[in-house]
Every structure is written in structure tokens, then in C-alpha cells.
Amino acid sequence: MRALHAAGRAALIAVPVLFIATFITFGLGALSDQNPAAAAMGETATQADIDRLNHEFGLDRPFLERYVTWIGDAVTGDLGRSWFTHIPVAESIGQRLPVSLSIAALALLLAVVLGAAAGIGAALTAGGWFDRAVTAVCAALSTIPAFVAGIALIVVFAVLVPVFPAGGYVPPSQGVGPWLTYLILPAVALSLDSAADLARQLRTGLVTTLRENYVTGAVVRGLGPRRVVFGHALRNGAGPAVAVLGLHVPRLIGGAVITETVFAMPGLGQLATTGALQGDVPVVQGTLLVAIALVLVSSVLVNVALARLRPGSVRTA
């Protein structure tokens, strides 16, 4: 019930945000001097061609009317058609979304597992060599952009010691094993920054929590270290880490776009980049809309997780 309440609140906040963000997205398209005729036919387009295509794509109607139509269609899953290929944008996105989502999801999983292990380990050995090593590695990792990490991983694991493919993608329908081998390097590259941040936040949160009286109390009552850390301290200490995770989800989705390009994977990033370089406005707008929706959905989920973790935060948030 509490979680449902938090989800409702977060969704209420997300709705105006969605409208503002999509309005900005759509407004940019209207501001641009790109038009389908110029994009598809280039210099040879006559005024009649331009008018005809503008009419076909509804560009001769007023701006607000177009925005309302676009948003209305988008709700029903229709994102318009590409100015070049005339393929429905939703269809192109549908084909590529699984690639980007696979990378982002695996990266998220890796970030949580690696970050939690490093963060909890560092907090328990606070001041010791493991703690200092984690802190140093995290500081180093957070300065390496995902695409540089990706290139480094290719050099090491695909060129010098060829154990993984340097790029490409195989859908899971052709076997989960091959799918994972193509996914592992990009996901690792993408996860490093988030894992480092997560570890840092978790360490700080846990070190503070472990000093609390109720933790001492639990130890005094004779509970084992595992029970104290996972049953008592983690629940309170993980709050900032979960919140930071919420900030990282949009970064992972955006970062997937770059990482895909490094590893030559046919994902959303490739769609957006080629669309951008051609001036294909509906494709770019559609990709951005899907990305915004993903970010908002994930922020609602993070809020729900926070509410479950710390019931008190619902009232103050």
C-alpha cells in the first residue's frame, strides 16, 4: 500500500515533467529548418515537392495542433514515419530497444552487484587497506568515460587477448550464451562509473549507520555480524545509494548510446546518430521520447524502492 502510494506520487510528479520534456523536444523540431523534402531529395526538390511532402507529414498545420496530434499518437504507440525510409519510427525503435535495454540492464545489474560488494566490504573494513583500495579505484574509475573504458576493454579482451568479440550483437533468441558474450564488454564498460559511485555512497552511508546506537544494541544483543549488517544497518545505510542509483539510470540509458557505437551494436544510439546526421526529425524525436519515458519510469521505480526501504521518506518527500 505504501509502495503504491509512493508510486502514485512519483507518477504525479512525472506527468508534468513528461509534458515539459516532450514539449521541448517537439519545439526543437519545429524550430529547425529541416524539412522532409530537403532531407529526402536534397537540392533537387522543387517548391511543389516541398509543399506536397510538408502536407503529407502535416507540417503545414499550426504548431500546437501538431504537438497535440504527435503526443496523442505517441500514447497509442504511433511515432510517425521516417522522412527518409518512410518506415514507422515505432517499428525501428522496437527493433533496437532490446539491444540498448540489454546493455543498460546488464550494466545496472553489474553496477549494483559490484558496487554493493565493494561498498559493503569497504564499510566493514573502514580505514583498512581494502577500504583505501576501493576508494582509490572508485576515484580513478569515475574519471574514465564509458566509451574510453569500452575501447580499453576491446584492446585488452578482443585484440591483445581475444576472448570476447570486439563488437556486434546477437539476439537472445539465438542462444543466451552468445548473447551474453557480445553483451559483457559493453555492459562492463558502461557499469564502471555507476558501480564506483554506488560503492562510494554505500560506504559512506553504512559507515555512518554502523555507528548508530541501534547497531551497537544489535551487536550487544548477540546478533552475528551478517545479521547486523544485512538485517539492520543496510536498510538505513542504503538510502543515499538507492537515490544515487536513480540518478544513474538516465546516465546508463544515455551511456548505452555511446557504448553501442563503440561496439558497433544496432541499438537506439545508432538510430539516433544516423537520424541526426541525416536530419531525420521524426526518428530523433521518437528516440528522445522513448528515452525520456524510460528515464521517468525508472525514476518512479526508484522512488518506490526508496519508499519500501525508508517508510519515513514518503512523508517528507
Partner 1 sequence: MRALRLAVRQRAARIALAVLGVVVLLMITGEWLAPYDPLHQDTTAILAGPSAEHWLGTDYVGRDVLSRLLAGSRLSVIAAAEAVGLGLLLGVLPGLASVYVGRVFEWLSLRVMDGLMALPFIIFAIAVAALLGNGLHQAMFAVGVLMAPSFYRVTRAAAIGLRQAQYVEAATLFGATRWRVVRTHVWQKVLPTVVVTTATAMAGALLVVSSLTFLGIGVQPPAPTWGGMLASDLGYLTQRPFGPVAPALLIIVTVAALNALADAMTVDPATTQEAPDALRR
Contact between 34 and partner 1 per CB under 8 A? yes
Residue 163 near partner 1 by CB under 8 A:
no
The one among 54, 69, 135, 142 contacting partner 1 by CB under 8 A: 142
Which member of 160, 173, 177, 221 binds partner 1 (CB under 8 A)? Answer: 160
Long-range contacts of 14-21 (CB under 8 A, 24+ apart): 14/296, 14/299, 14/300, 17/296, 18/292, 18/293, 18/296, 19/71, 21/292
Cell of 247: 540518478
- State the Cα angle at 257 between 242 and 179, rounded to 5°: 85
In whole angstroms, the minimum distance from the beta carbon of 93 to partner 1 comes to: 12
Whole-angstrom distance, CA of residue 109 vs CA of residue 280 = 34
16 binds partner 1 (CB under 8 A): yes
Near partner 1 by CB under 8 A, which window of 81-89, 179-187, 285-293, 304-312? 285-293
Is residue 152 near partner 1 by the rule CB under 8 A?
yes
Please tell me the distance from the alpha carbon of residue 137 to that of residue 285, in angstroms, as a whole number: 38
Nearer to partner 1, 29 or 119 (CB): 29
Among 45, 126, 151, 184, binds partner 1 (CB under 8 A): 151
In angstroms, give the least distance from the CB of 183 to partner 1.
19
Amino acid at residue number 72: G
94 vs 287: CA distance, rounded Å: 10
Do residues 198 and 111 touch, judged by C-beta distance below 8 A?
yes
Q: In 3-state terms, the chain is what percent helix, strand and coil (to 5)?
A: 80, 0, 20
Binder of partner 1 out of 144, 184, 301, 314 (CB under 8 A): 144
Binding site for partner 1 (CB under 8 A): 13-14, 16-21, 24-25, 28-29, 31-34, 140, 142-145, 147-148, 151-152, 154-155, 158-160, 166, 250-251, 253-255, 257-258, 261-262, 268-269, 272-273, 275-277, 279-281, 284-285, 287-288, 291-292, 295-296, 299, 316-317
